[in-house]
Amino acid sequence: MREAKVARKTRETDISLKLNIDGGGAAKIDIDDQFLRHMLETLTRYAGFDLTVEATGDNQHHLVEDVAIALGSAFRQALGDQPVERMASAMVPMDDALVTAAVDIIDRPYCDADCPDVLYLHFFRSFAMSSGITVHIMLHRGIDEHHIVEASFKALGTALKRSVVPRQNVLSTKDAVKFRSA
């Protein structure tokens, strides 16, 4: 199983997180922020991952940011060195919202997301930076901000599910990137 456990404790937050990317979409989220809990459950379900999170924080911003950092770190650890499909995308409609997410699992962290909620834009960026992946989320249309954010999590989850599928060899013209001391 490709899984990882991460604990992150700062003056502002206390987070314990377990991620299994070969799971079945089960989520056990113990967080006081109802919307964050809902988005993590949504991401988990659409990605097909198993996720357990216990988190507290001094305010909503710190909680959302640090959970995203812990989740990204766990994702990176759980993935390991096995070759995967790497690039994937998903277009998701949700009522008035239509969103596409595209990911590239490569050590080139970047995020560009059309997100009307600055807090969840920060979530996507923090996740991308801590996981070391490239994330693009494009809003094609939408009026209701809740629908746009939720469609973004559904699309990201679906793209992540497709990108972590194991493959026989590394999908790159550079082969595997290896770092060494100078």
> Counting every residue, how long is the chain?
182
* Position 171 in a domain: no
In 10 A of CB 174, how many CB atoms?
7
Residue 179: the pLDDT is: 41
* Position 169 in a domain: no
* Position 182 in a domain: no
Residue 167: the pLDDT is: 83
Q: At 122, which amino acid appears?
A: H
What CATH number corresponds to the domain at position 26?
Answer: 3.30.230.40
Domain total of the chain = 1
* Position 157 in a domain: yes
Q: End-to-end alpha-carbon separation of the chain, Å?
A: 34
* Position 178 in a domain: no
* Position 181 in a domain: no
Global pTM? 0.93
Question: Secondary structure of the chain in the HEC alphabet?
Answer: CCEEEEEEECCCEEEEEEEECCCCCCEEEEECCHHHHHHHHHHHHHHCCEEEEEEEECCHHHHHHHHHHHHHHHHHHHHCCCCECCEEEEEEEECCEEEEEEEECCCCCEEEECCCCHHHHHHHHHHHHHHCCEEEEEEEECCCHHHHHHHHHHHHHHHHHHHCCECCCCCCCCCCCCCCCC
What Cα–Cα distance (Å) separates residue 30 from each residue in 55, 164, 165? 6, 26, 28
pLDDT per position in the chain (182 positions), as tens? 899 999 999 999 999 999 999 999 999 999 999 999 999 999 999 999 999 999 999 999 999 999 999 999 999 999 998 889 999 999 999 999 999 999 999 889 999 999 999 999 999 999 999 999 999 999 999 999 999 999 999 999 999 999 999 987 776 656 554 444 45
| Domain interval for residue 148 | 3-163
* Position 126 in a domain: yes
* Position 44 in a domain: yes
